[in-house]
Structure 1
Amino acid sequence: MRHIGLFFGSFNPIHTGHLIIANYMANYTELDEVWLVVTPHNPLKKKDSLINQYDRLEMVNLAIEQAPNIRSSTIEFSLPQPSYTIDTLTYLREKYPNDTFVLIMGSDNLISLPKWKNYELILRDYHILVYPRPDYQGPTELSEHPSITVTDTPLMEFSSTFIRNAVKQGKDIRYFVPDSVKAFIESKGLYR
């Protein structure tokens, strides 16, 4: 039985912060592996800022080539849009009955969790590992919940929005994203 952490995201684009969080969860918690679940459309985000899901997936795959216990997942590509986490979890549980799944989310998402579809079922049936986010440091009403563990993951102060804006302004994004992802963004002229 594998203990799998699910790190959902638009990964628009994936950046070093995502990779540090995934690596921390895969190596400093009880998880056996972490799946980066590329979300075609998050119901709480505007869709027009998203580039093609296959380009986002390709950048994830380029970024994790050297990571033995981190992999990408396209599970939501074949599910109805927009994707609701509870539906994806139910599907994964049926498809991989011998594995246990743990949610990985930022402290900002923990605050909005009560807005999620069937969030009570998520709290009842799944463990959630929370990583800190800037401006969302303090305890929330949910942080004491028995299904939730707040981790000591290093705090990341930049975002995919920062990267997209930097590319748009012609700024250097070296070290913010892996070299392979930087080359892919440049070769396809993404975010210009």
Structure 2
Amino acid sequence: MKKAKKIIVYGGAFNPPTKAHHAILQAIVDEAKKNDNQVWLVPSGDRPDKSIGIDVNMRLKLCEALMKSIDNQGVNLELVDYELRTNIETNTLESSLYFEKKYPNCTFIWVFGSDSIKTMRTWPGGEQLFSSLHMLVIPRPDFDVTSLPPKAKILTVNALPTSSTEVREKLKNGHSVDHLTPEHVARLLGSSSLY
């Protein structure tokens, strides 16, 4: 019997990608390398609680720039635009069900920050997600690891807490963001007037 392919799914707005996103993605690739997994970078679409506000094609270019900055070590790292290309608002439950149906021979491992774990049960389908999704959880210093979901494991990432909001504000005010974003992302941001 053929072993199921495992795919680590790292979703987020990445608006724009920061050095924190870079550190997380590199840690995910390092983890995938150990277990012969694939990695999918999945930029989120608009949601009821968050509108992204920039062109889909530019979002994809920003994610591609993030991926260029990663040492993929032979790991299959793919940009998956499912959420961006749907014309409806998406959420984690819908995306997980879609991927499971489309790729029934794959096991998906979802990446979340511990702040998401704390609120997950309040999301659409949150109880189902909490109990059934395979997860890698990136803990914040105050996170109680005894509250992990049943199919979760910790992924430690050494990243400075740089937010995309901070990067957008600096760009709006005409400041450099080279120290906050990966090199390829900084170049792309420098050559456009997105924010």
CA RMSD in angstroms comes to 2.1
Q: Which amino acid aligns with 2:180?
A: F
Confirm or deny that 1:34 pairs with 2:42. no
Does the C-alpha gap of structure 1 residues 95 and 176 become closer, same or farther in structure 2, counting only changes over 3 Å? same
Q: Which residue of 2 aligns with 1:138?
A: 143
Alpha-carbon separation, structure 1, partners of 2:18 and 2:24:
10
**1:186 paired to 2:178:** no
Matched residue, 2:102: 95
Q: Secondary structure at the match of 1:188?
A: coil
Counterparts of 1:183 and 1:25, CA distance in 2: 24
Assess if the C-alpha contact under 8 Å between 2:131 and 2:151 holds in 1. Answer: yes
Higher relative contact order (CA 8 A, sep 6+): 2
Counterpart-to-counterpart distance in 2, 1:180 and 1:155: 18
Q: CA deviation at 1:23?
A: 1.4
**8 A contact 2:27–2:157 mirrored in 1:** yes
Answering whether residue 85 of structure 2 is matched by residue 81 of structure 1, we say no
- Whether contact under 8 Å (2:16, 2:164) holds in the other structure is yes
Quick one: which of 28, 43, 60 aligns to 2:48?
A: 43
**Correspondence 1:175 to 2:182:** no
Moved more, 150-159 or 18-27: 150-159
SS in 1 for 2:147: coil
The one-letter amino acid of 2:168's match is R
Identity of aligned residues (%): 25
Equivalent pair of 1:132/1:155 in contact (CA under 8 Å): no
The Cα shift of 1:137 comes to 2.3
Contact 1:131–1:151 (CA<8 Å) still a contact in 2? yes
What is the CA distance between 1:80 and its match in structure 2?
5.0
- Structure 2 residue 107 is matched with structure 1 residue 109: no
Structure 1 moving runs of 4+ over 6 Å: none
* Amino acid of the structure 2 residue aligned with 1:103: W
What's the offset of the Cα at 1:24? Answer: 0.6
- SS of 1:20 mapped into structure 2: helix
User: 2:60 matched to which residue of 1?
Assistant: 57
Give the 3 Å change call, closer, same or farther, for CA 188–158 of structure 1 in structure 2. same
Q: Give the Cα–Cα distance (whole angstroms) in 1 for the partners of residues 22 and 36 of structure 2.
A: 15
| Aligned residue type for 1:112 | T
Query: If the length of structure 1 is used for normalisation, what is the TM-score?
Result: 0.86
Can you list the C-alpha shifts for 1:150-190, whole angstroms capped at 9, x where unaligned?
A: 22222431110111111112222113222222222222211
How many residues align? The count is: 186
| Contact 1:142 1:148 survives alignment (8 Å) | no
Between the aligned partners of 2:187 and 2:45, the Cα distance in structure 1 is 22
- Quote how far apart the aligned CAs of 1:15 are: 1.5
Does the 8 Å CA contact 2:121/2:130 hold for their aligned counterparts?
A: no
